Structure 1
Amino acid sequence: MNSVRRGLLIILSSPSGAGKSTLAQRLMEWDPTLSFSVSATTRPPRTGERDGVDYHFLELPAFKAMVAEGRMLEHAHVFGNFYGSPQGPVEDAIQAGRDVLFDVDWQGAQQIRNSDLGKHTLSIFILPPSIAELRRRLIARGKDSDDVIGKRMQKSWDEISHWGSYDYVLVNDDLDTTFDKLKIILNAERMRRPQQPGLKEFVRGLQAEFEEGQG
C-alpha cells in the first residue's frame, strides 16, 4: 500500500505560562519533520528578525488582499497590527505528508477548523494544574513586569473557558508526562482514515483479489 499520508494541522493553545511553547519545542526536537507555521504580520521587523523565518513581513494592503482572496487560514488584529497564517505553504506541506504546528489562540483555532483544511486539524488545549501555579510560572519566567503578568492572568480565564472546543485537553502538571501523552495523541491521529489517502485504492485491490479468487 502507498504509505504516504496526509499531514496534520496541529493546533496547540493554552493560557500564557501553561507550558505550550516548551511542549511545542519538544515536539519539534522529537520529530524534525514537523514544521512550524510561519505567520504573516503587518508589523515591522524587530532587530535580528528575518523575513520568511520569523515572520512573513507584509504591507497592510498585501495582507488585506490575502485575507480577501481566502489565502489566510486565520488572522487577527492584535495591538495595532495584523497577524495571520498563510494557507499556501501549509497546504503544500500536508499534501506532502508533513505535519504543521500552529501556536494560536482559540479564535485562530476556530478559524483554522472552519477553513478548507479543517478536516485535517488536530487541536489540543493545554491547561495548568491550578491558577496559583499558572501565576507562579509567569513570575518565575522573569520576562514580564507585574502589570503585564496581571494582564496575562486576566486574559487566561477567557482562554481557558474555550477548552471544550478542542479535540484533546491535557493538564500540564508534569511536563514529561504531558509530553508523553502528546506523542501518543499525535501518533494515533496520524493513522486516522482521512489522513491515509491510499487506503481506498488498497481496499479496492483487496476486493479485486477476493473476487478473482471466487471466480
Structure 2
Amino acid sequence: MSGDITVISGPTAVGKGTVVSALRRACPQVWVSVSATTRPPRPTERDGFHYLFVSDEEFDDLVANDGLLEWATVHGVHRYGTPKAPVLAAAAEGRPVILEIDLQGARQVRERLPEARSVFLSPPSWGALVDRLVGRGTENVEQMERRLATAKVEMAAASEFDHIVVNEQVSQTVEQLIDLLGLATNSETEGQS
C-alpha cells in the first residue's frame, strides 16, 4: 500500500464532517472514504456522497464477507462501517486517504492498519461541544443525552491518538491538518501549473 491513510476521529458534534469537507475543498487530491450506515439519511444528506445508506441485511453481508475495514454500532442504535476495497484502492493509487470515523472504528483501523496516522479532533471545551450538539438541532432530547454520554467516553480516549487537534475554528483546524498531513492546497497546486 503506497498511499497515506489518516484516521480523523473525535466526539460527536465536534465538527468532523465540517472539517473534512473543508479539507477536501482546500486539497482536492485527498480521497475521503464514504461510510456505510444503517441509519436513515438526514434531510440534507445524499446517498453515496455523505454516506452509503444500506439495509441491515446489506450491512450483515458486508460484515460476513470481510467487506469492511472497520464497523461499529454507534450510540447503541445504528451501525456504521468503512468499506475496505475503495480505501485500499485509493491508497494503492498513492492518494492521501482520510477516514472520518468514530472511536470504535479508529481502534479497529489501528489494529488492521497500524501504519495509518490517527488524529483526534477535540472541542475547545465541553461546553462548546454541548452547544454544537444542541445548535445542530438534529436530535431529540433522548438522542442528545445518549450522544453526550458517548462523547464523554470518546473524549477520555484522546491520548490513544497520534495527534490531537482542537477544533475551535474550522479554517484554523484545516490549516493545522494541512500542515500535519503535508498536503498541497488548491492555491499551491494552481501556482505550480
Q: What TM-score does the superposition give when structure 2 sets the normalisation length?
A: 0.78
- CA displacement at 1:89 relative to structure 2: 0.9
Q: Which of 29, 32, 36 is matched with 2:28 structurally?
A: 32
* Structure 1 equivalent of residue 134 of structure 2: 139
Which whole-Å CA distance do the structure 1 matches of 2:155 and 2:123 have between them? 9
Closer, same or farther in 2 for the Cα pair 1:48/1:27, shift >3 Å?
closer
Picking from 63, 67, 70, the partner of 2:66 is 70
Write the deviation string for residues 2-45 of structure 1: whole angstroms up to 9, x where unpaired: xxx93222211111232222211111101112222122344577
Deviation at 1:107, TM superposition (A): 0.9
The letter of the residue matching 1:15 is P
The equivalent of 2:81 in structure 1 is 84
Residues 141-169 of structure 1, C-alpha deviations (whole Å, 9 max, x = no match): 33333443333222211000111111100
Deviation at 1:100, TM superposition (A): 2.3
Identical positions, percent = 36
- State the match for 2:148 in structure 1: 153
In structure 2, distance between residues paired with 1:48 and 1:171: 26
Task: Tell me: CA distance 1:143–1:109, structure 2 relative to 1, closer, same or farther (3 Å).
Answer: same
In the TM superposition, what is the alpha-carbon distance from 1:90 to its structure 2 partner?
0.8
Separation of aligned partners in 1, 2:19 and 2:45: 23
The 3 A distance-change label for structure 1 pair 96 and 42 is same
Aligned with 2:11 (options 4, 15, 27): 15
Counterpart of 1:75, as a letter, is: W
Q: CA deviation at 1:64?
A: 3.3
Describe the shift of the 1:99–1:135 C-alpha distance in structure 2 as closer, same or farther (beyond 3 A): same
Q: 1:61–1:166: structure 2 CA closer, same or farther, 3 Å change rule?
A: same
Q: Which amino acid aligns with 1:8?
A: D
Q: Name the structure 1 match of 2:177.
A: 182
Kindly report the root-mean-square deviation, in angstroms, between the aligned alpha carbons of the 2 structures. Answer: 2.8
**TM-score under structure 1 length normalisation:** 0.71
Count of residues in correspondence between the two structures: 182
SS in 2 for 1:152: helix
C-alpha change, 1:20 and 1:40, in structure 2 (3 Å) is closer
The letter of the residue matching 1:166 is F
Alignment of 1:96-135 (within 5 A): 96-115=93-112, 117-119=113-115, 121-135=116-130
Report matched runs for 1:161-172 at 5 Å: 161-172=156-167
Cα distance in 2, alignment partners of residues 68 and 37 from structure 1: 20
Corresponding residue for residue 190 of structure 2:
none
Question: Aligned partners of 1:62, 1:17: CA distance in 2, in Å?
Answer: 27
Question: Deviation string for 1:88-136 (max 9, x for gaps)?
Answer: 1111100101122222111100111211x432x1211011121122222
Structure 1 residues 56 and 181: alpha-carbon distance in aligned structure 2, compared to 1, 3 A threshold: closer
